Structure 1
């Protein structure tokens, strides 16, 4: 029965149907908590990501139900084009943070705890203010080490004033939080190393997860009609952290007949389209529009290889793209880049092959899997088994359920 476990307000900068791993993770987790008996209210800005996809909204407050979750869209500035300038991003983040803070204060009797997801770090402001006013617990849900990632990718300078101020703000948020949720053990280690052992007792690993009943090898398939040979697939955000350019370049070196399907949208879409045209790979690489989440299981079940690549950067060593678990649950062997937690997961599970961030190395991995159906099947079975045992959405949500129950009870 909704609400029997407690009442949770979740503050998130993005929420489905918006694209991106963070939106999917928050949406799936919120819906699973509702199934577990929580009264879940999600507070988010108007649908904005990828920028320019959705019309500008002047609606102050839009409410709808999403499988037992009350979703409240609060007006904020919306970015209007892909890869928006810093000024537009900040306006988007800060206007939402202010509006969400006011909403939480006005409806402070509706919840027992506030969970704020990052990135961006500004989503923590509503949770901190609401917790200070009400005395109710504040949970920082860290989906990405945003500052580390942006610095390592060269978007900000580590020694700049803005980066130093951002790190101080991050430290204040994490030390103020009653619990800090991380997605991998490596992320927890990095946070403890950066912020001191005092934070260790607040860290709880809640990994990205997957609905293993929806994502399965026998889902209704979309095999990508018209594609010859093996189908190599990527679904999700075309962002700066994903090394999709190397994957496109790899197709020029693939010897086996194969097609790469990049399905989604994001800041780098135009660059990827130009690269495909420049290399003359239009017959081997298709860049396709985003699809509804309900269609993704069928696409994966109709494919042969999934790719989960990250740029070779120390700032991304903690990360495992959420799509990796969807590939595994779907019985797809995974080609991932040889970096940090992602490489550790593929080695531990036996679900795929790791390769260097090099087009020829990626092409060799694609060819190896394509030419060996038995190896693909074995990795697919191992990946599916590992995902069901360790990363099923319901199992992961039950761990979060216990953390929230204990936290609320300790504040009663």
Structure 2
């Protein structure tokens, strides 16, 4: 089968795109249509993946903006489909889903919607915590995006989501039933090759990922301050950057925590795993919103795979994983005292090691990409191949 994956951002790199296209490439011919912000070749072969980019430098950058009605994106999509006789379209996230349906109308190619997150809810969070820019009222408006989602869900041939909570939401809205599959953000099994480091006997927390107001990192910093006052040997390592980084750095300074907090910035995947391995507790402190309640970030599985107990906020998708795996504790979103209570419960090395071992075992047996890959390949087998000659 010949498959075209449509991605609104530049590639490389995105971990979910890489995992999906690599897995598909083991059995099929895979193409990727993505944005070009100006510095990359219009077409490129990355291993088994054929990359086609829209946009470029100068005036060509206008055409690269990922709007579903963009004539540049429509023309590029039709060109790839016809030149390479594409059998199946997979479109990542909501903004370009209508584009995929337009391409389907012209070519008859079926469409899978890879919903990595509840996009309207994510934009609503952005409006709530950062405020909208003037252009956002038109191009990133949560109400308009929700209307778009309501229109596309019944029209796509299948939808992939990242959590059971997201599946339940989509099924309730679309009535798609068995055409909604969970393909999670689980890690590849090779992460288990990295042996967990011995617990150093401290409450060394680690946070990885974007840093914005919805991530709740301020709650972790305030809980750390309470823990230090109480005499607990707590520290925090932060890997990542984002719009709220400066605010978090200021809060750390105001609370006199500079010697207990280390900011690493962005790291390579190998460096990231080394930082996690050296700590003793992984934290996912997301604010509880419609978006975070259905989204599972990669970081929770990285923590679990490296045998770290996790402390998560009470967002449903996060709480479901921790409860099922018995790999950590749940605190009340935005409440430093609640998070401090979790740290107290994790003081005993035996408790941390037991929860960490349970999380690692759960990744080894269930929450790994090998299982999601099997679901992915089974889903694709449900679509016919080699019909392109009859269509175009």
Range of TM-score over shorter length: 0.7 to 0.9
The equivalent of 2:340 in structure 1 is 363
CA offsets 1:82-121 (integer angstroms, 9 cap, x no match): xxxxxx9x99442896543322211213222111111xx2
Structure 1 residue 274: Cα displacement:
2.0
The equivalent of 2:38 in structure 1 is 57
Q: TM-score, normalised by structure 1?
A: 0.81
Distance 1:239 1:104, change over 3 A: same
**Take 2:331 and 2:179, find their aligned partners in 1: how far apart are those partners?**
35
Q: Within 5 Å, which residues of 2 pair with 1:145-224?
A: 145-151=118-124, 154-155=127-128, 162-195=141-174, 197=175, 199-216=176-193, 218=195
Structure 1 residue 10: Cα displacement:
1.2
Q: 8 Å contact 2:220–2:339 — kept in the other structure?
A: yes
Q: 8 Å contact 1:215–1:326 — kept in the other structure?
A: no
Structure 1 residue 277: Cα displacement:
2.1
CA offsets 1:121-151 (integer angstroms, 9 cap, x no match): 2221332122111111111011111112333
Distance 1:64 1:13, change over 3 A: same
Distance 1:352 1:170, change over 3 A: same
1:396 aligns with 2:372: yes
Structure 1 residue 222: Cα displacement:
12
SS state of the match for residue 42, structure 1?
Answer: strand
SS state of the match for residue 11, structure 1?
Answer: strand
**Take 1:133 and 1:91, find their aligned partners in 2: how far apart are those partners?**
21
Distance 1:265 1:181, change over 3 A: same
| Structure 1, unaligned runs of 5 or more | 1-5, 47-55, 79-87
The equivalent of 2:278 in structure 1 is 302
CA offsets 1:166-223 (integer angstroms, 9 cap, x no match): 222111221111001111121121123234x2x224211212211122245516x799
User: Larger radius of gyration, structure 1 or 2?
Assistant: 2
Greater displacement, 376-385 / 268-277: 268-277
Q: TM-score, normalised by structure 2?
A: 0.84
Distance 1:59 1:152, change over 3 A: closer
Residue correspondences, number: 372
Q: Within 5 Å, which residues of 2 pair with 1:333-352?
A: 333-352=309-328
Structure 1 residue 263: Cα displacement:
0.5
1:264 aligns with 2:240: yes
Which runs of 4 or more aligned residues in structure 1 lie more than 6 Å from their structure 2 counterparts after TM superposition?
A: none
The equivalent of 1:41 in structure 2 is 31
| Structure 2, unaligned runs of 5 or more | none
**Equivalent of 1:69 in 24, 33, 49:** 49
CA offsets 1:218-257 (integer angstroms, 9 cap, x no match): 16x799xxx9944211122113431111112211011322
**Take 2:166 and 2:68, find their aligned partners in 1: how far apart are those partners?**
29
